[in-house]
Amino acid sequence: MNNNSHVLEIIQAVIGKYCVTQKRNFSVTLINKLQCNYVCLQVSPEQIIAQCEEFLTPGLTSAKNSFLLTVEANIQGVSFHYWVDDDQQVTSLDVHGLLATKESVNLALDINQNVDVLTLCELLFKSCLKMSAYTHDRFGLNFKLFNSMTRESIQLEDLRHLHGDDLINKLNNDSLNNHIKLCSIDDINNLSQEHKFSKRVLGWPFFDTDLIAILATLHTQTRLSILVADDSLPSQIATKVMLEMLGCSVTCAENGASALSLAQKETFDLLLLDERMPGMFGSDVAEQLISQNTPNNDTPKVILTGITGDDQIAELFKKGITHYLQKPVTKAVLEKFIKPWQLAS
């Protein structure tokens, strides 16, 4: 049984389903204060869905013009807060569960970045304006009505009126790279099994950080691809999260054999290998990769270990290790270590 729940996807699905099934049309603004577009709790999806439906439905039912929801971290998980229309009263819900984050979206964007909203729906535009008040200080984003004379801004194009083949044809035939398409979550879910959507497609309703993550793909920024091999799950997750918060793309392996198999098939920019893994040590993985002339023959091979003896460390380098980091590794150490490769890319 899968006991992990992607919280933001569930919230969007619950709100989207309500609006479609109840044929409601009002401004929906979702603010993710976690600044990550992947927020997973170790709680069953069924439990989170039931909690969200019970919590959100009364507010969605009473909304006449607008619904504003914020998500933020608490000590034991995440907190949801929503406001309806112009009422200052806030309704809150705390959801407990181990929090895992991925794909940090606190990336450098142009401070004067504008997003033109190309839509016939006044409520959608009002929702974007409300979101703009939250995103400008954090990301430098402003929303405004579409202006054909402005050539440097990104266009958010509303395609929720298109479905099935009409939607597919629009997505496949439109070659304008500065357009972000806004589609209903139902349409995306129904078609994603048969068609690969562009990363510039947004599912409605969407969080501010969904948009930021998509905008980041429009900026030319190379992300380091890093393989992390560690048999300790807490250590593996900690390293993964720190690297992703530094803008890296991370693949994980739970032991040496798995790391070797991955590195034999896929090219990485860096290999971070725990030394003391069952079956095959990290230095053994490095040695095998070099002897087999794999795609990662020349890839820097970084050993993560508590070993501090000079002779023992020298033996690691003889086997093919190129760099050494002493465990436990902090985010500051990782940031300083990977910076030369980030600058080179």
Cα–Cα distance, 79 to 58 (Å, whole number): 17
Low-confidence ranges of the chain (pLDDT < 50): 1, 220-221
Q: What is the identity of the amino acid at 28?
A: V
Contact 212, 109 (CB under 8 A): yes
Distance CA 154, CA 202 (A): 13
The CATH 3.40.50.2300 domain(s) of the chain lie at: 225-344
- Cite the residue boundaries of each domain of the chain with CATH code 3.30.565.10: 5-101
pLDDT confidence of residue 1: 44
Looking at this protein, which amino acid is placed at residue 326? Q
Instruction: Tell me the pTM.
Output: 0.62
Question: Residue 133: its pLDDT value, please?
Answer: 84
pLDDT of res. 230: 93
Q: Is 131 helix (H, G, I), strand (E, B) or coil?
A: helix
- Which residue, among 167, 175, 214, 217, has the nearest Cα to 195 in the 3D structure? 167
Per-residue pLDDT tens over the stretch 44-75:
889 999 999 999 999 999 999 999 999 998 88
pLDDT at position 325 is 92
Pick the CATH number of 114-218 from 1.20.120, 1.10.3470, 3.40.50, 3.30.70: 3.40.50
99: its two tokens:
């929090």
Q: Are 82 and 222 in contact (CB under 8 A)?
A: no
Q: At what angle do helices 256-265 and 282-291 cross, to 10 degrees?
A: 30
Which superfamily does CATH assign the domain made up of 225-344 to?
Answer: Response regulator (3.40.50.2300)
Matching residue, tokens 């004067």: 112
Strand partners, 45: none
Which CATH superfamily groups domain 5-101? Answer: Histidine kinase-like ATPase, C-terminal domain (3.30.565.10)
What is the phi/psi pair of residue 97, to 5°?
160, 150
